[in-house]
Structure 1
């Protein structure tokens, strides 16, 4: 999504922000992420605030609304939701501004920290009474017949483990951008993380070795995990076919390679 500066928002939208924060002293546009038209850390009289926004009539505004709905149920490593406004034709959301650098999936120290953080997130159950997409709904249409039922579960999944969404500060990890919270089997997040490790340069064997450190993966049925891999590879093939940009083609290739690796003879691709 094309980015605009915070100062290019309509006056009514900027005024709505300052009613919450007081005067804005400086604006630091976010460099990462693709899903918001406005994304910036504002230094304000009440402290730093991360504000992002999407035009209210944009189809992608639904993902931002999902973040607002799930915010009260997120684990402590997620930033706190401060406020949400619909004003001037914009949907604006403010979050606690968290410090840190994006995780480097080539650095073992970062990988160990992210692995531990994922283990903590895996202990969070999806909240009852909150309308969430299920893993069966998201990936079931791409699964082989009869395979999608294995994706079901009660874990609250983040599902977007790109390093842009993982901030590391010292020994602490903060997980941001909960635009795709999903209810499903616990091993799904480790699988999607493994795919991002491959995007960063890991082999399939290396990525699976890191995933194997997660209890949910070790306890998962290898055949069910493979069936999920088949569905994920089909999703990325469809995405890359519709928009053959470089990173999407790369993800499609990695998804196909991970699926192929897990389809090796039993014992060769497991933990």
Structure 2
């Protein structure tokens, strides 16, 4: 489901006033075009500094993602922008985050340094235990696509996984990768994130499956993945992205479907 992007001026006056009471006077509001999940995504220049605000109407089908991000934010170990506040007013749920100065979206191509920075961040994340908050478990999230119980069980773990490596969710700033949009954070085995990121390296970085796995092998967690479970997980994501592309046709979903299919085919021969 792609969400229609609105502007700061589309928010009710009472909602904007509630935010301004938190931030101080707002000098400028600039809508951010990237991302698919937020109705509001805006950079605010305020009397107290610059910040990023994202949000949804409280009755939006994905309004739960606001609560998920708010719950995860204190536990990301410096790998994500700090959550500064949450405002729920006049039917809106909005989160205010630290603004990543000089941040740019990651480039996943083979010649870019960005995948190495992401690998460093994922190595740190793999060392992060899941906080005591409600998160979906990986073995349940992918259950419909993995029929074999032992393969589903291999996805289980007590580590915090991001799971959504759209390059717009990885900001590069000051020689480090910062991960944003934790709405799909999951309780999982630590090898899950590298496996999911491989598909994005293939789709948007135009890397081969072999190159993507060479990148993944930089991370200790990758070597914890049972081969048969990794193969089953690759097949599961190929089915998942085919389903997504069928339901939401377009170049973006087609590229992920094709990349996931190529990766699953590669895994079946290794």
The question of a shared fold, defined as TM-score above 0.5 by the shorter chain, is answered with yes
User: Would you say 1:257 and 2:262 are equivalent positions?
Assistant: yes
Structure 1 partner of 2:18? 16
1:38-57 alignment, distance < 5 Å = 38-57=40-59
Return the match for 1:67 from 66, 69, 81. 69
Return the match for 1:140 from 140, 143, 149. 143
User: Would you say 1:196 and 2:213 are equivalent positions?
Assistant: no
Tell whether the 8 Å contact from 2:79 to 2:179 is kept in structure 1 after alignment. Answer: yes
Distance 1:84 1:202 in 2: 39
What's the RMSD between the two structures over aligned residues?
1.1
Distance 2:131 2:209 in 1: 33
Q: What is the Cα deviation at residue 162 of structure 1?
A: 1.2
User: Would you say 1:223 and 2:228 are equivalent positions?
Assistant: yes
Residue 78 of structure 1 aligns to a residue whose secondary structure is: coil
Structure 2 partner of 1:83? 85
Return the match for 2:215 from 210, 215, 233. 210
Distance 1:225 1:131 in 2: 26
Q: What is the Cα deviation at residue 214 of structure 1?
A: 1.1
Distance 1:173 1:252 in 2: 25
Q: What is the Cα deviation at residue 170 of structure 1?
A: 2.5
Q: Which moved more, 1:63-72 or 1:183-192?
A: 63-72
Q: 1:115-148 CA distances to partner (integer Å, 9 max, x unpaired)?
A: 11111111101113x1110101111121023221
Structure 2 partner of 1:98? 100
Structure 2 partner of 1:123? 127
Give the aligned length.
264
Residue 128 of structure 2 aligns to a residue whose secondary structure is: coil
Residue 108 of structure 1 aligns to a residue whose secondary structure is: coil
Tell whether the 8 Å contact from 1:134 to 1:182 is kept in structure 2 after alignment. Answer: yes
Distance 1:207 1:157 in 2: 19
Tell whether the 8 Å contact from 2:161 to 2:192 is kept in structure 1 after alignment. Answer: yes
Distance 1:250 1:166 in 2: 19
Distance 2:52 2:43 in 1: 4
Q: 1:245-271 CA distances to partner (integer Å, 9 max, x unpaired)?
A: 22112211111110110110xxxx4xx
User: Would you say 1:156 and 2:156 are equivalent positions?
Assistant: no
Distance 2:106 2:17 in 1: 34
- Where in structure 1 do 4 or more consecutive aligned residues deviate above 2 Å? none
| TM-score between both structures, scaled by the size of structure 1 | 0.94
Tell whether the 8 Å contact from 1:51 to 1:92 is kept in structure 2 after alignment. Answer: yes
Unaligned runs of 5+ in 2: none
